[in-house]
Amino acid sequence: MFRDKAIETIDRASLDKLQLLQLKTTFTTALKTRFYEHRFRKTPIKSADDIHSLRDLEKIPFTTKDDLRACYPDGLLSVEKSRVVRLHTSSGTTGMPTVIYHTQADLDNWTELVCRGLTACGVTSCDVFQNMMTYGLFTGGLGLHYGAERLGALVIPAGAGNTQRQLQLMKDFRTTALHATPNYMLHIMLKLDEFNCSLDELSVKKVFLGAEPYTENTRKKIESFYQIEAYNCYGLSELNGPGVAMECVHKTDPHIWEDSYLVEIIDPETGQVLKDGEEGELVLTTLKREATPLLRYRTRDLTRIHTEPCPCGRTHRRIARITGRSDDMLIINGVNVFPSQIEEVLMKRPEVGTNYQIVVDQHESLDRLTIKVELYAKLFEGDIKDLERLRDAMKHDMRSTLLVGARVELHEPGSLPVSEGKAKRVVDLRKEV
C-alpha cells in the first residue's frame, strides 16, 4: 500500500533532479537565518547559484548539534515569527536541548511523511492507534499522532507510562497498533500478570518501535512475546522527529524519505563522505523545511545505506538499524565498546528478561565494566550452580564480542531501575570522579 505511489517509487534520475532543485531552495532559505547568513559570508558557496550539482554539497560545511545549541533560541529561524506555528526541542539525552521551529507547511510535510510510513506498514482508517510516547516538547508524541490521525485511524493519545491504564485502554478500545519505545514494550511484558491482563484480551497487531537504538534480537523478543509485528521507526527532533525513516511491511530496515532529506554517510573522524554500504555517521540536509532549514546536519547516529532494492518497490533508500551514536561509545581501558554490542549479546539468550544496565566505574585505577541483567523469575527457583554457569557463559560471550572483560550480575525481574521514556542504560561513574 502506498500513500503517494508516484513519489515513493520515483526513479533515481528524477529524484536527483528534484533534490538538486530543493537543495537550492533550502540554501536560499537557510541564508535567511542569522547562523547560516554569517557562515556563508566567506565560503566558496555563497548563494544557490553556486550549487550546480548534488556533488557541490560536499563544499558546504557540516552543521553540528553544538551549532544548534549555540543558536538557541532563534539563531536558526528563517521566517517571520508570525509564520511559525509550533516549536519542538530534543529530549536532551546528551546535554542541552536544541530547538526547531515549524511553519504550517513544515508540519503538513512531516505529517505526510508519517502517513507514508504508517501506510507502508498497513495502517488504515480501521486501526485504533495507541500512542504510548511522551507528548509535549519531545517529538515522539505529536509526530506520529498527526500522521495516524490524518490516515483516519482512531488515535488514543495515551502518552508514556501508567502501564495499568495503557492495558485498560488497549482492552476497552481494542487497540490494533501501538507506538512505543522498545524499552517500554519490554517493561509491559513484566506487568501483565500484576494487572491481570492476558494477551488473549488484546487485539494489538503491530507496534512501531523507535526513539532509541535497539537490536534485531530485541525486536524479535517483542514480536514473539506479544505475537505482533514490530516495525522500526527512526527520527530525531532536529530533522522533524519520528518518521524521518520508516520500515515497510518487508521489515528490511527503514526507508528514508529522500524527497525531504538528502542523505550522506560520513566517516565520523575525517568527515569524508563514504560510499553506499559503508558504515559511518548519518548526515542529513532538509529539502523542504521552511522555518529551520538544516544543511548537512551531523546526526551522530551510526548506520549505513543498503544498496539492494526493497521488494516493496519504493526507491527511497534504506538505512540499516542504528548501531549507536558516535558519541555513546564507551572507552573501557582503551577499547571502544558500544552499548548496542552488549545488548546484542544479552538478547541472544532466552534466559535474559527485559531490562539491563551498564555500569562503568574505576577500580584500582582501571576502568571496570559491570553489566547488570534481569533474568526471568523461574531461573531463581532452580539450582544456584545453573545461575553461576549462565553468568560465566555470559562473561565469556562479552569478552569475545567486546574484547574487554566485564562483570555480569544477575538480577530478579523488576529489580533494576526503569524509565518510562527513553531507556537510560549506561551509568558512567568515571565522569563524576
Residue 227, by phi and psi: left (phi above 0), alpha (psi -120 to 50) or beta?
Answer: left
CB of 108 to ligand ADP, least distance (A): 20
Is 379 a binding residue for Zn ion by CB under 5 A? The answer is no
What nine digits make up the cell of 404?
Answer: 574487554
CB of 279 to Zn ion, least distance (A): 21
Is 249 a binding residue for Zn ion by CB under 5 A? The answer is no
Interaction residues for ligand ADP, span 65-94 (CB under 6 A): 90-94
CA distance 336 to 328: 10
Is 322 a binding residue for ligand ADP by CB under 6 A? The answer is yes
State the binding partner of 280 from ligand ADP, Zn ion, none, CB within 5 to 8 A by kind.
Answer: none
Amino acid at 10: I
CA distance 33 to 312: 39
Q: Which alpha helices (H) appear in 125-195, and where do they start and end?
A: 139-150, 163-172, 182-191
Give the Å distances, CA to CA, from 166 to 158, 228, 229. Answer: 7, 17, 19
Using the rule CB under 6 A, which residue among 325, 368, 372, 425 binds ligand ADP?
A: 325
Is 390 a binding residue for Zn ion by CB under 5 A? The answer is no
Using the rule CB under 5 A, which residue among 128, 211, 246, 310 binds Zn ion?
A: 310
State the binding partner of 248 from ligand ADP, Zn ion, none, CB within 5 to 8 A by kind.
Answer: Zn ion
Q: Stretches 24-32, 106-114, 163-171, 226-234: which one binds ligand ADP (CB under 6 A)?
A: 226-234
Interaction residues for ligand ADP, span 129-148 (CB under 6 A): 138
Give the Å distances, CA to CA, from 11 to 1, 5, 255, 276, 316. Answer: 18, 12, 15, 17, 9
DSSP 178-211: EEE-HHHHHHHHHHTTTTT--GGG----EEEEES
State the binding partner of 210 from ligand ADP, Zn ion, none, CB within 5 to 8 A by kind.
Answer: ligand ADP
CB of 349 to ligand ADP, least distance (A): 22
Closer residue to ligand ADP in complex, CB, 92/309: 92
Using the rule CB under 6 A, which residue among 117, 210, 243, 293 binds ligand ADP?
A: 210
CA 216-138-169 angle, to 5 degrees, is 70
Q: Stretches 106-114, 172-180, 303-311, 413-421: which one binds Zn ion (CB under 5 A)?
A: 303-311
Q: Which residues make beta-bridge pairs with 336?
A: 331
Instruction: Name, in order, each residue with C-beta under 8 angstroms of 250's C-beta and a sequence gap of 6 or more.
Output: 310, 311, 312
Is 257 a binding residue for ligand ADP by CB under 6 A? The answer is no
CB of 251 to Zn ion, least distance (A): 9
Using the rule CB under 6 A, which residue among 117, 213, 280, 339 binds ligand ADP?
A: 213
State the binding partner of 92 from ligand ADP, Zn ion, none, CB within 5 to 8 A by kind.
Answer: ligand ADP
Interaction residues for ligand ADP, span 344-363 (CB under 6 A): none
CA distance 114 to 258: 13
Decide if 39 contacts 155 (C-beta within 8 A).
no
Is 426 a binding residue for ligand ADP by CB under 6 A? The answer is no
Is 277 a binding residue for ligand ADP by CB under 6 A? The answer is no
Q: Stretches 22-30, 181-189, 248-256, 282-290: which one binds Zn ion (CB under 5 A)?
A: 248-256
Is 259 a binding residue for ligand ADP by CB under 6 A? The answer is no
Q: Which alpha helices (H) appear in 295-403, and where do they start and end?
A: 339-347, 384-402
Amino acid at 178: L
What nine digits make up the cell of 366?
Answer: 582501571
Is 406 a binding residue for ligand ADP by CB under 6 A? The answer is no
Closer residue to ligand ADP in complex, CB, 262/394: 262
Interaction residues for ligand ADP, span 283-312 (CB under 6 A): 299, 301
Which DSSP letter does residue 309 get?
Answer: P
Q: Stretches 76-84, 109-117, 189-197, 305-313: which one binds Zn ion (CB under 5 A)?
A: 305-313
CB of 235 to ligand ADP, least distance (A): 6
Is 417 a binding residue for ligand ADP by CB under 6 A? The answer is no
Decide if 384 contacts 420 (C-beta within 8 A).
no
Instruction: Name, in order, each residue with C-beta under 8 angstroms of 247's C-beta and a sequence gap of 6 or more.
Output: 117, 120, 121, 231, 232, 233, 253, 254, 255
Q: Which residues bind ligand ADP (CB under 6 A)?
A: 90-94, 138, 210-213, 232-237, 299, 301, 322, 325
